[in-house]
Amino acid sequence: MLLLIPLDGDDVQSAQISPILSAKKWALLEIGAGEIVDITLYDSKEDIDEWIDAVVVVNDYEPVMDFIEMQTMVLVAHTQKTIDEIFEAYLFKELNDLSW
């Protein structure tokens, strides 16, 4: 499972989710057996060659049409900010579906 998160910085411990248009880095989390197997940072989402299972955005008003067209699930982290918080919310199915 690959989960993509736009971040406001490049320190995976302290970076927080950011709006898509102001993302400084993109974190690609490889998830397996209920844990993070690997985190890879990218400068741009266009640099990612792998199939992304889901993208997590900061609110319902993000420009996500590119992801929807690629049939990538879009999840919203309304209160979660860090990678750890988002991952935990993902595991417990606490992230919201995108509302239209």
Q: The domain containing residue 89 runs over which residues?
A: 2-97
Under a CB-based contact definition with an 8 Å cutoff, are residues 27 and 7 in contact? yes
Read off the tokens for 32.
């397996």
> β-strand 2-7 against 25-32: which pairing, if any?
antiparallel
For residue 88, the domain's CATH number is 3.30.420.130
Q: Can you give the length of the chain in residues?
A: 100
pLDDT tens digits for range 22-75:
999 999 999 999 999 999 999 999 999 999 999 999 999 999 999 999 999 999
Q: What is the mean pLDDT of the chain?
A: 96
Q: What burial class does residue 96 get, using C-beta atoms within 10 Å of its C-beta: 0-12 exposed, 13-18 middle, 19+ buried? A: middle
Q: Could you give the number of structural domains in the chain?
A: 1
pLDDT tens digits for range 1-27:
999 999 999 999 999 999 999 999 999
pTM: 0.96
